[in-house]
DNA sequence: TTACATGCAAACTCTTTGCCACCAG
DNA sequence: CTGGTGGCAAAGAGTTTGCATGTAA
């Protein structure tokens, strides 16, 4: 894997935030340092960095992929209102699940836990609580930089 | 919500399998009973049935949505080789995660646990073990009917 | 009768890819 | 040198939507 400025900027962008950014977010941020970087390059580098194990790819909600520079074992809380994803420090004990999976003759490689909820900013103070799909829809627009 | 033949067929298709089908799969199956049903109708009904709480939408892998007719609390094992999703009967105790989320001032609504691994059919007996991305790619093609 | 649902196709979002110039090693 | 990489734009996959017609209640 060659060491280019584009790749370095993409990696730093993912590592620079706890917000589990989308490719779009990384692109916008990378463009501040390399104004003519292309979205394709961002995608290519995110994919390669994930394959190389330098970042992690997470599937939060059904929308865009998100990326995570935190490689340690941890889980996520996702706000169904704004789509934000935060880390959860508590290490979950999944031994029973893994045992069950093995009992089904699965070779266990990993696991992912996501708690869904409403963050303080999205909690209904009024009646505008988003429905599940509307919430998911508005997620990208409100992604806090 | 009006009671149409299309909706009934879509619901029955999701309930008819433990395979956590994709919209494509439901479409192909529904077409056996209603040959000119359209993909748009399948999507619309899956969405409405999920909103009505009659089925559940799950995000397995980063690819297509999958749907689940099993409404009870349970978790999933996903094969990173073929994309298949199976139920895991063991009820996971996520009280600590939920407590942690609440401590972050999140209103907890739900949670989802996915164990990733290789199913018997995809386990490397030879050297053709799929890479993470190739595995995800081939998932749809091999979706067992 | 009429509001909701369907079929169809076009539109949209997110992601990947082909091509050729370019540059790190 | 030269093969990996970048920029660009077009293509792909999956999903949603506008519109005219059809139909459940």
Above 80 in pLDDT, residue A37?
yes
B117 in Cβ contact with B57 (< 8 Å): no
- Identify the band that residue A36 occupies on the pLDDT scale cut at 50, 70 and 90: very high
- Residue A131: predicted pLDDT: 38
- Residue B34: predicted pLDDT: 98
B81 in Cβ contact with B137 (< 8 Å): no
DSSP letter at A22 equals: B
Residue pLDDT, tens place only, A40-62: 999 999 999 999 999 999 876 65
- CA dist B96 and A24 (Å) reads 33
Exposed / middle / buried, residue B68 (Cβ in 10 Å: 0-12, 13-18, 19+): buried
* Cβ contact, residue pair B118, A133, below 8 Å: no
How do strand A85-88 and strand B75-79 relate by DSSP bridges? unpaired
- Residue B124: predicted pLDDT: 67
Residue pLDDT, tens place only, B56-88: 998 766 578 999 999 888 888 888 777 788 888
Above 70 in pLDDT, residue A31?
yes
Distance between the two ends of chain A, CA-based, in angstroms?
A: 29
- Identify the band that residue A116 occupies on the pLDDT scale cut at 50, 70 and 90: confident
Residue A48: CB less than 7 A from any atom in strand D: yes
Report the residue of chain A nearest B110, measured CA to CA: A116
Residue B95: CB less than 7 A from any atom in strand D: no
- Identify the band that residue A117 occupies on the pLDDT scale cut at 50, 70 and 90: confident
Residue pLDDT, tens place only, A87-101: 887 766 778 778 888
SS3 of B121, please?
helix
- CA dist B56 and B69 (Å) reads 6
Q: Which residues touch strand C (CB under 7 A)?
A: A 2-5, 22-24, 39-40, 43-44, 47, 63-65, 140; B 1-2, 4, 6-7, 34, 36-41, 44-45, 48, 62, 133
CA B118 to chain A, closest CA, distance in angstroms equals: 5
More confidently predicted of B123 and A3 = A3
Q: Of B86, B100, B117, which has the smallest distance from its Cβ to A108's Cβ?
A: B117
- Residue B59: predicted pLDDT: 78
Q: What share of chain A is helix, strand, coil (3-state, %, to 5)?
A: 40, 20, 40
Rounded to two decimals, what is the model's pTM? 0.81
Taking the CA atoms of A125, A130, A131 and A136 in sequence, report the sign of the dihedral they define.
negative
């Amino acid at each position: 894997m060659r060491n280019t400025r584009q790749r370095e900027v993409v990696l730093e962008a993912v590592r620079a935030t706890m917000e589990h950014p989308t490719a779009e977010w990384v692109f916008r941020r990378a463009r501040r340092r390399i104004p003519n970087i292309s979205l394709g390059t961002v995608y290519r580098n995110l994919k390669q960095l994930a394959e190389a194990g330098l970042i992690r790819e997470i599937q939060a909600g059904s929308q865009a992929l998100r990326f995570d520079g935190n490689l340690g074992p941890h889980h996520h809380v996702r706000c169904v209102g704004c789509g934000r994803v935060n880390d959860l420090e508590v290490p979950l004990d999944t031994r029973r699940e893994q045992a069950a999976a093995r009992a089904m003759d699965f070779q266990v490689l990993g696991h992912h836990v996501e708690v869904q909820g409403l963050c303080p900013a999205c909690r209904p103070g009024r009646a505008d609580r988003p429905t599940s799909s509307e919430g998911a829809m508005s997620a990208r627009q409100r992604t806090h930089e």
